[in-house]
Homo-oligomer: A and B are copies of this chain.
Amino acid sequence: MDVPEVPSKVDPDALTAVLDGRWAELRRGVRAQMAEAQFRDPVDLGVEAHRAQVLDQLRALAGTDRPGLGFDPAYGGGGDVGGSVTSFEMLGYGDLSLMVKAGVQWGLFGGAVQLLGTARHHERYLRAIMDLDLLGCFAMTEHGHGSDVQHLRTTATFVDGGFVVHTPDAVAKKEYIGNAARDGRMAVVFAQLVTGGESRGVHAFLVPIRDDDSGAPLPGVSIEDCGPKAGLNGVDNGRLSFDNVRVPREALLNRFGDVAEDGTYSSPIESDSRRFFTMLGTLIRGRVSVAGSAGSATKRALALAIRYGELRRQFAKPDGDEVVVLDYLAHQRKLLPALAKTYALHFAQEELVSKLHDIDSSAPEEEQRELESRAAGLKALATWHATAAIQTAREACGGAGYLSENLLPGLKADTDVFTTFEGDNTVLLQLVAKGLLTSYKQDFEDLSPLATARFFAEQVVSAVLERTSARKAVELLTEASDTDAFFRRDWQLRLFEDREDHVVEGVAKRLRKAASDPFGVFNSAQDHVLRAGRVHVERLVLEAFASAIERCADPDARALLERVCDLYALSAIEEDLAWFLGHGRLTASRAKAVTSAVNRLCSELRPHARTLVDAFAIPEQFLAAPMLRS
């Protein structure tokens, strides 16, 4: 086998250089700031003290130029989208309440003003938002509409030269809104715009919610506190409702749709639905940031568990010494494939951030949508991985992992909502599948089953059909008879690609029958639809890992990353072994060889486990668990 030996000791700094990538300097800057004592974890703080601490930390962040990175340089911003998203990712090493609160303020609220508003909003608000002189909320989700936000029910009706924002009933109450319960002074409120008696779909409005000085809710605005949550209790989530609250005509964030003084509606985008999904598309940074910080939290959990796994001993060996638990195969199997996947997702995330940074606003719509799809898919996989890996890390630390002081309970509780906020993962994977099936040519974020099913009832989907061939499958099978193939990147990549083609084709065939009963057909294929989304993203992730290795100049680090990538690929194959077996891509005996290869890789990577987590360069104060004092 032509695989370079991994030296017995690899310098973690060489790995850090590859991991840090394009925004390495910015990452170092965030690490340095987060190492300050004031960014400490909130173990055992009450809700009010925690909220106060997070707001103080937010103000400390505002003292740097990083919060401005995502904003237009014309108004004092940095014009560095990639850096902005990366800095949210890095905050994920610390208290995730701070990451979320920063994300609400600068990513969602500020991002909406920047990207949905026009010069009049930018001039008036951007500087104050960057500096925290204006704290704001992003009020989209309603009690009755979370995934299906196109049908939210708050209204903004044009009357007498301004808008009246109104919550018609309890179902239309804005729900889980960050910054609402305590600190926010203004909200970007998403509402159905009504003018001239006609509804023009969902638009965003800037609505003051609290008196600047006293902090009391303004007349007509009702604010409730969502109360304690599983985690993220440093974020003041609340519910907002509006009783005929008047705002001026200029409160409309009017980049994609405007109302003239006489009430005439105009928009550069004709279709209400397409306009709304274009607006949503601009908000992609939120999802990208959630995926990134989910990755950071996962890294921290694995770093804690692997350090503990190297200290903790249990049961004596024949020679009398007690065995370090990370020397057990079962323990390696819990942590090392999860670590490999964390590396893989990291590189996929980095590639996504680069693409997001580089994309031109004049890029073709398909390209924009492909990027949105990638963000959606990676968010789903990264957050599910965080949930699973942090759970495993907790269990790998036994009783110690259950004590708050050892930090894993906080990580688990804080990240738990990541799988369902900023887009429910199940819905996001459907969106990914839809993009694959339509080559990103349909109204993209229209997630309803009906829209998907109807599309197939009306069209021939020849584009996706017959991309697969029996010949390719046989080739892959034949090559796999040699175990060396398992460790050849091109075989792995072709295997992932072939699986994706086959699954997508299968879904297309199923959905073609949708004319007679669109919902029924869509629903009975839903498991295949979700699988299509997942295997597509897994292919992108493997490709991203392979490209990152190509960029690695240090030969030792590179040799190690090659093995980590093998472990990612082979454990992903092992997880989906039933598919590969059931579709003739692997024989029974080769399937067993996959499991043996994963075991072998676990044992080869065991001596490098500590190096691999040290390479994340997590500030030590976020790893200061008493269980690690030996």
Residues of A near any B CB (own CB < 8 A): 43-44, 46, 141, 144-148, 151, 175-176, 226-231, 313-318, 322-323, 327-330, 333, 387, 391, 394-395, 398-399, 401-405, 408-409, 412-413, 416-417, 419-421, 424-426, 447-450, 454, 518-519, 523-524, 526-527, 530, 577-578, 581-584, 588, 591-592, 595, 599
Pick 26 A–B contacts, CB within 8 A, sort by A: A46-B46, A141-B399, A147-B314, A148-B322, A151-B316, A226-B403, A229-B409, A230-B409, A315-B447, A315-B450, A317-B519, A318-B450, A318-B518, A328-B526, A330-B526, A391-B416, A398-B424, A399-B417, A399-B420, A402-B417, A402-B420, A409-B413, A578-B578, A581-B591, A582-B591, A582-B592
* Closest B residue by C-beta to A333: B527
Q: For the complex, what is the distance from the CA of A399 to the CA of B147, rounded to whole Å? A: 11
Q: For the complex, what is the distance from the CA of A56 to the CA of B308, rounded to whole Å? A: 38
Q: For the complex, what is the distance from the CA of A595 to the CA of B330, rounded to whole Å? A: 29
**Distance between A43 CB and nearest chain B CB, rounded to angstroms:** 7
Chain B residues closer than 8 Å to A146, beta-carbon distance: 314, 398-399
Q: For the complex, what is the distance from the CA of A438 to the CA of B408, rounded to whole Å? A: 38
Given A314-B145, A315-B447, A329:B526 Cβ within 8 A: yes
Would A402 and B328 count as touching, CB distance under 8 A? no
Chain B residues closer than 8 Å to A582, beta-carbon distance: 577, 581, 588, 591-592
Given A527-B333, A577-B582, A581-B578, A403:B227 Cβ within 8 A: yes
Chain B residues closer than 8 Å to A518, beta-carbon distance: 318
Q: For the complex, what is the distance from the CA of A351 to the CA of B231, rounded to whole Å? A: 38
**Distance between A40 CB and nearest chain B CB, rounded to angstroms:** 15
Q: For the complex, what is the distance from the CA of A547 to the CA of B306, rounded to whole Å? A: 44
Instruction: Please list the 4 inter-chain residue pairs (A to B) with the smallest Cβ-Cβ separation, ordered nearest first.
Output: A230-B409, A577-B578, A228-B404, A578-B578
Given A227-B44, A527-B599, A450:B329 Cβ within 8 A: no
Chain B residues closer than 8 Å to A409, beta-carbon distance: 229-231, 413, 416
Chain B residues closer than 8 Å to A402, beta-carbon distance: 176, 229-231, 416-417, 420-421
Q: For the complex, what is the distance from the CA of A447 to the CA of B577, rounded to whole Å? A: 31
Given A227-B44, A405-B227, A582-B577, A175:B599 Cβ within 8 A: no
**Distance between A234 CB and nearest chain B CB, rounded to angstroms:** 14
**Distance between A134 CB and nearest chain B CB, rounded to angstroms:** 26
Chain B residues closer than 8 Å to A408, beta-carbon distance: 230
Chain B residues closer than 8 Å to A228, beta-carbon distance: 43-44, 403-405
Chain B residues closer than 8 Å to A175, beta-carbon distance: 399
Given A527-B329, A591-B582, A592-B582, A448:B316 Cβ within 8 A: yes
Would B44 and A523 count as touching, CB distance under 8 A? no
Q: For the complex, what is the distance from the CA of A193 to the CA of B197, rounded to whole Å? A: 87
Chain B residues closer than 8 Å to A530, beta-carbon distance: 330
Would A401 and B413 count as touching, CB distance under 8 A? no
Q: For the complex, what is the distance from the CA of A148 to the CA of B317, rounded to whole Å? A: 12
Instruction: Choose among A226, A401, A416 the residue with the greatest number of B CB atoms under 10 Å from its CB.
Output: A416
Q: For the complex, what is the distance from the CA of A405 to the CA of B318, rounded to whole Å? A: 52
Chain B residues closer than 8 Å to A413, beta-carbon distance: 230, 409, 413
Q: For the complex, what is the distance from the CA of A630 to the CA of B452, rounded to whole Å? A: 29
Would B577 and A449 count as touching, CB distance under 8 A? no
Q: For the complex, what is the distance from the CA of A315 to the CA of B152, rounded to whole Å? A: 11
Q: For the complex, what is the distance from the CA of A573 to the CA of B524, rounded to whole Å? A: 20
Having A230-B404, A330-B526, A581-B591, one finds 14 other A-B pairs with CB under 8 Å, namely: A44-B227, A147-B315, A228-B403, A230-B408, A316-B450, A317-B449, A318-B518, A323-B449, A329-B527, A330-B530, A394-B416, A399-B417, A409-B413, A409-B416
Would A315 and B148 count as touching, CB distance under 8 A? yes
Given A147-B315, A395-B419, A230:B412 Cβ within 8 A: yes
- Of B229, B333, B583, the residue contacting A404 (CB under 8 A) is B229
Q: For the complex, what is the distance from the CA of A280 to the CA of B43, rounded to whole Å? A: 36
Chain B residues closer than 8 Å to A313, beta-carbon distance: 144
* Closest B residue by C-beta to A329: B526
* Closest B residue by C-beta to A402: B417
Q: For the complex, what is the distance from the CA of A317 to the CA of B451, rounded to whole Å? A: 9
Q: For the complex, what is the distance from the CA of A330 to the CA of B449, rounded to whole Å? A: 12
Q: For the complex, what is the distance from the CA of A226 to the CA of B409, rounded to whole Å? A: 14
Would A315 and B449 count as touching, CB distance under 8 A? yes
Chain B residues closer than 8 Å to A317, beta-carbon distance: 449-450, 519
**Distance between A518 CB and nearest chain B CB, rounded to angstroms:** 6
**Distance between A580 CB and nearest chain B CB, rounded to angstroms:** 8
**Distance between A262 CB and nearest chain B CB, rounded to angstroms:** 33
* Closest B residue by C-beta to A141: B399
Q: For the complex, what is the distance from the CA of A398 to the CA of B599, rounded to whole Å? A: 36
**Distance between A602 CB and nearest chain B CB, rounded to angstroms:** 10
**Distance between A319 CB and nearest chain B CB, rounded to angstroms:** 9
Q: For the complex, what is the distance from the CA of A578 to the CA of B420, rounded to whole Å? A: 29
- Of B43, B323, B417, the residue contacting A519 (CB under 8 A) is B323
Chain B residues closer than 8 Å to A583, beta-carbon distance: 588
* Closest B residue by C-beta to A451: B315
Q: For the complex, what is the distance from the CA of A141 to the CA of B335, rounded to whole Å? A: 24
Q: For the complex, what is the distance from the CA of A405 to the CA of B224, rounded to whole Å? A: 14
Chain B residues closer than 8 Å to A519, beta-carbon distance: 317-318, 323
Q: For the complex, what is the distance from the CA of A408 to the CA of B226, rounded to whole Å? A: 15
